[in-house]
Homo-oligomer: A and B are copies of this chain.
């Protein structure tokens, strides 16, 4: 694996055509913002560029591919034979999802902001910025292209969603300067933030009601655990695609240092999302459960069943809280 900088990444992209951009599974605003901003800019340079994702792309991101194509059709990407493949905001090739991981066992280029990146790509353009979209924006600058309003929408979305709208500790002065530039370029920040942060479906609100009823507190109120079961999804009519923000809920409770969200998958296994406040290290806790992530946001799976998995996790959290 070779580390490259933004200017080198731009030179490589300039020299390529028939490019496929891969996002991570369960796509979010940052991975999609990177992919569709790059696609738009490179297409504008006369190249053929498509985006692929193992999972469906939620409708709320439809403004990213512009009004000319109302439905982004991943089918087209499946039938496309690219000459060059890159992954954006993908820390580990596993996160591409089974279909894309099998199809592309070798990834020539990865653009990412996770310091935990496994180095699976031949070339890695990595910076510890708040959002991968910050790096993509710098690459676009190196390409000598002025982003149009739709590209600015894509890049702003990644920055806004990965920082909780400029709330989190990953924000730097550079993050705000880029936001200022993107707004000047025409990013519809108020509409984007409304869709990303303000709008809740009725089914999601019903789910939130059930989840609020499930809160358990541990270790003198320093740890809050919520559990989302398949049954709650069924009762509320909600589903996993609506739950982006729910993992941040338990950490919001006054006094909580570790917020835990346990979400039951269709197969009955549990996905664990951890959110912490300094100095508790979420990635250290999840690493002990076979997972990983960032210092304040990390994830893992329960290897055992719910009761045993929770017991094991709570013991690790207890130790981390005592050491913190």
Contacts and interface: CB of A to CB of B under 8 A. Distances in A.
Contacts of A169: 190
A193 B181 contact: no
A200 B166 contact: no
A307 interface: no
Interface stretch (A45-53, A100-108, A248-256): A248-256
Contact of A277 (B172, B181, B194, B206): B194
19 contacts: A160-B166, A165-B165, A166-B189, A167-B190, A167-B193, A167-B198, A168-B190, A173-B180, A173-B181, A176-B176, A176-B179, A177-B177, A199-B253, A201-B254, A202-B253, A205-B215, A206-B212, A208-B212, A209-B212
A183 interface: yes
Contacts of A218: none
A173 B187 CA distance: 11
Q: Which of A166, A172, A252 has the most B CB atoms < 10 Å from its CB? A: A166
A248 B160 CA distance: 20
A253 B193 contact: no
B180 A174 contact: yes
Contacts of A78: none
Contact of A173 (B183, B197, B209, B254): B183
A200 B168 contact: no
Interface residues of A, number: 43
Q: Which A-B residue pairs are the 8 nearest by beta carbons?
A: A176-B180, A169-B190, A173-B180, A209-B212, A167-B193, A176-B176, A176-B179, A200-B252
A177 B181 CA distance: 9
A160 B166 CA distance: 9
A165 B167 CA distance: 7
Given A171-B183, A194-B277, A277-B194, A202 B254 contact: yes
Given A166-B193, A175-B180, 20 more contacts: A160-B166, A166-B166, A167-B189, A167-B190, A167-B197, A167-B198, A168-B190, A173-B184, A176-B176, A176-B177, A176-B180, A177-B180, A180-B180, A194-B277, A200-B253, A202-B215, A202-B217, A202-B253, A205-B253, A206-B212
